[in-house]
Amino acid sequence: AADPGVRARWWTRLALMVLLQALLPTCLSKPKDEYHNLDGYGYSVIHEEIVKDSARTEAYRSAILENKSHFEGKVVADLGCGLGLMSLFSAEAGARKVYCIEGSQIASTAETIIRRNRKSDTVTVIKGRIEEAVIPEGEVDVIVSEWMGYFLHYEDMLPAILTFRDKYLADNGLIFPSHARMWLSLYSDTRWYNDRISYWKDVYGFDYTPIVSRVVEEQFVNPERQHLREDGVVSEPSLVHSVDMYTATLEDVKDIRATISSKVTRKATIHGIAFWFDVTLEGDEHSALLDTAPKAGYTSWSQVVWYLQDAFNATEGDDVKGTFAMMRTDRGEFDVAVRLKSPSRVELEAFDQSPSTMFQNLYERLSFEHGIYEEASDNQLHRLLDYASRLQLGFVAAGVSAFVLGWMVGQWH
Amino acid sequence: AADPGVRARWWTRLALMVLLQALLPTCLSKPKDEYHNLDGYGYSVIHEEIVKDSARTEAYRSAILENKSHFEGKVVADLGCGLGLMSLFSAEAGARKVYCIEGSQIASTAETIIRRNRKSDTVTVIKGRIEEAVIPEGEVDVIVSEWMGYFLHYEDMLPAILTFRDKYLADNGLIFPSHARMWLSLYSDTRWYNDRISYWKDVYGFDYTPIVSRVVEEQFVNPERQHLREDGVVSEPSLVHSVDMYTATLEDVKDIRATISSKVTRKATIHGIAFWFDVTLEGDEHSALLDTAPKAGYTSWSQVVWYLQDAFNATEGDDVKGTFAMMRTDRGEFDVAVRLKSPSRVELEAFDQSPSTMFQNLYERLSFEHGIYEEASDNQLHRLLDYASRLQLGFVAAGVSAFVLGWMVGQWH
């Protein structure tokens, strides 16, 4: 029998070897960015879209400049400040100190802009994550943040805001926005439906209906972002979720469940379900509403629509009831499900809808419009990391088996 | 010393183990598709865009149906046939046999469509690469193909067509299209320029010019696809490349060089260089021209524009001269360079412009419009495969080292 000391040494080396095998692919893989939607915000085109969204910018601008009593001599935090426009508005409204906190690399441009506009004494840019930002004053009087994403929550920025609020917001402090609401409505678009589905019945005299099943398969899987026609909204909006920014907890926004009740306003064929949100920026002197409904006109968010595989007919007065659920997964993705009881057949489910799914969607459109295609988007990065972790398991297994085989060979001699 | 027979057995087992280690990640990884732009063509939305491009479809339709003498009783190959519409036109024009060759998975839908339209006796779908297709007759009388991509060549399909032509086209056989030409012109768009650049001088009263350098950096790197305004074309088009489909060789389309001469038609500020192409479908009875110029109106290709970092002024009558070069790299990507001698400062270069760069661009736009974001696009797929092959090397190395270590441990005892 071998010396137990020697055997222990070898067992240590074996353990080290296995560890090395496990670590090697980890070193090869890219570090996982928990803020998976930040990368895209490094591009100027996205900020261009945001700044030029006048409904959005004007809502915040008026809320800040027409509520000067909340800002004069106060400490303000602008969370996810981007190019710092709201920080500049806050300085203009008389804030004593503004912290402009931004995690993407656009922060350095914000810094230059603030210097250029001679507001560096008042506005300080903090580059980094909102949750990790340190406020020297120990508290802030006002939080300003434009955290809303597609489907209200898809950018997954709200948890960071709530964490910051609990840590830093002074008693009687103010939050812009103060409230957020998500709405749902039935949507009808016969022209769209004919163009995508009926079109194939006669293509230059040929029957192309075999492609319809593919179109349906590709089209109806996920909720998607679109500018919806106002007259396509054919039922009264049903409130599916409401956030009070002063009292909401992290738990409140992790697992959202609601009952749906939406009264049909005109006889129509229902092709999908539309979602949008609005937020209130409520101060003592002025309140602003930022509404992203189809009837409110253009915003950079547009609306989200989820097309039905089978359209159904509805009549004025029908009360369509059902349930809505949206759960935040541990990976910061969302599972979304809609079930309409009447008609009973409508069930829509989407899993692992990451913040980047819709974000990427915006990014891709901007890429098309403005011509940026250098970087892999977040979604693909995630797939790559999934793939790497699968490989990693195989790696360890193969390493261990190779070691054991080698050991057996060594024993044989 | 060990028995040499036993040692040999163990060496064999060692070799098998290493092989297994090398194969395991290969099994995990997706097969590499050399036709890197084919995957996207598996989506119906892309075929929808193509079929609905009436300029394109009508040009081919008229060329086929109004040149029946070329088709009656003949063998036709429709290369990259997609949903098989041109194969159906060819059958309608009297072809004895049509081979509809398609590499993407949409081929199975094409097959169903052809069966549904009772043309299966005439039209046979061959699923696979054009270069590898086997034509039982040993030759074809007519080649029909719609191979053109952004920048004419970016889809990199032409080499496959020329290879097929050399192998199968009968003497006096016909090719649709017969000729292709790529054009270049100076482009002016002051409104666009102001919107993207001048806008930042005054954003709600603040100076945002520090972002301009970022905008420029993101915007002016690569040629990009856009629908250009007809009145923005401010010089006579300069022919940069011409392909005779009957005589062009693989070498001819690999390294394209041209001199530029473009006479300015009106005083204007030049913001970019526009590119487009046209093709001729020339038969004995009828000739069709498919033109993708801005003045020709909508096509699914639009145009390609390459914005200049520094706009310059030009006067009516100026003859802008320079050089153009486009080289196909071994990876099926393109390096493109434009140099204008007058004004001397204009130099544009883009490297590794893959077929998928622009293709992806189309795909992304369609994704936005039609809502498909399930699959990684080709570019990302390539990155993933690069990554997998790097991992694979590490895998083999780690496996071998684990084996050797195990062998040493075994020896020790």
CB atoms within 10 A of CB B251: 8
Question: Which residue in A25, A204, A215 is closest to B85 by CB distance?
Answer: A204
Q: How far is A278 from chain B (nearest CA, A)?
A: 23
Each residue's pLDDT, cut to its tens digit, for chain B (413 residues) gives 456 666 666 666 666 666 665 555 444 443 333 333 455 576 777 788 888 889 999 999 999 999 999 999 999 999 999 999 999 999 999 999 999 999 988 999 999 999 999 999 999 999 999 999 999 999 999 999 999 988 898 878 899 999 999 999 999 999 999 999 999 999 999 988 888 888 999 999 999 999 998 888 777 777 888 888 899 999 999 999 999 999 999 999 989 999 999 999 999 999 999 999 999 999 999 999 999 999 998 888 889 989 888 889 999 999 999 999 999 887 778 899 999 987 778 888 888 776 555 544 444 444 434 332 223 333 344 444 455 555 566 667 777 778 888 787 777 65
The whole-angstrom separation of Cα B268 and Cα B289 is 30
Q: Which residues of A touch B360 (CB under 8 A)?
A: 373
Amino acid at B398: A
Q: Which secondary-structure segment (H or E) carries A335?
A: strand A334-340
pLDDT value for A6 = 67
A155 is catalytic: yes
The whole-angstrom separation of Cα A68 and Cα A395 is 61
Claim: this prediction has a pTM higher than 0.95:
no
Q: Which residues of B touch A407 (CB under 8 A)?
A: 406-407, 409-410
Question: Which residue in A112, A373, A410 is closest to B357 by CB distance?
Answer: A373
DSSP B208-274: -GGGHHHHHHHHSSS-EEE---GGGB-B--EEEEEEETTT--TTTTTEEEEEEEEEB-S-EEEEEEE
Q: What is the pLDDT of residues A32-63, one digit of tens each?
A: 333 334 455 667 777 888 888 899 999 999 99
Residue of B nearest to A402 (CA): B403
Task: Kindly provide the ipTM of the predicted complex, given to two decimals.
Answer: 0.75
Q: Which CATH architecture best describes the domain B180-362? A: Distorted Sandwich (2.70)
Catalytic residue among B102, B111, B146, B333: B146
The whole-angstrom separation of Cα B6 and Cα A413 is 9
Helix (H, G, I), strand (E, B) or coil at A339: strand
Interface test with A, best of B58, B308, B391 (most A CBs within 10 A): B391
The whole-angstrom separation of Cα B241 and Cα A267 is 57
A139 is catalytic: no
Cβ of B204 within 8 Å of Cβ of A28? The answer is no
Cβ of B211 within 8 Å of Cβ of A83? The answer is yes
Cβ of B85 within 8 Å of Cβ of A203? The answer is yes
Q: Are A303 and A293 in contact (CB under 8 A)?
A: yes
Catalytic residue among A92, A131, A137, A146: A146
Q: What is the DSSP letter of B198?
A: G
Q: How far is A166 from chain B (nearest CA, A)?
A: 32
Question: Which residue in B13, B21, B44 is closest to A398 by CB distance?
Answer: B21
pLDDT at A80 over 90: yes
Q: Which of B312, B348, B314, B322 is nearest to B261 (CA)?
A: B322
The whole-angstrom separation of Cα A369 and Cα A43 is 13
Interface test with B, best of A48, A154, A195, A386 (most B CBs within 10 A): A48
**Superfamily of segment(s) B39-178:** Vaccinia Virus protein VP39 (3.40.50.150)
Cβ of B406 within 8 Å of Cβ of A405? The answer is yes
CB under 8 Å to B152, separation ≥6 — which residues?
A: B180, B182, B241, B277
CB under 8 Å to B1, separation ≥6 — which residues?
A: none
**What is the band of A363 on the pLDDT scale with cuts at 50, 70, 90?**
very low
The whole-angstrom separation of Cα A234 and Cα A114 is 46
Residues shown for chain A? 413
CB under 8 Å to B360, separation ≥6 — which residues?
A: A373, B40, B377, B378, B379
Cβ of A407 within 8 Å of Cβ of B409? The answer is yes
Q: How far is B163 from chain A (nearest CA, A)?
A: 31
Q: Which secondary-structure segment (H or E) carries B398?
A: helix B378-412
CB atoms within 10 A of CB A180: 22
Question: Which residue in A117, A209, A371 is closest to B207 by CB distance?
Answer: A117
The whole-angstrom separation of Cα A36 and Cα A49 is 20
The whole-angstrom separation of Cα A100 and Cα A110 is 9
Helix (H, G, I), strand (E, B) or coil at A58: helix
Q: Which residues of A touch B361 (CB under 8 A)?
A: 367-368, 373
Residue of A nearest to B22 (CA): A398
Interface test with A, best of B3, B116, B211 (most A CBs within 10 A): B211
Amino acid at B113: I
The whole-angstrom separation of Cα B213 and Cα A44 is 10
The whole-angstrom separation of Cα B184 and Cα B348 is 14
Q: Which residues of B touch A390 (CB under 8 A)?
A: 28
Cβ of B412 within 8 Å of Cβ of A410? The answer is yes
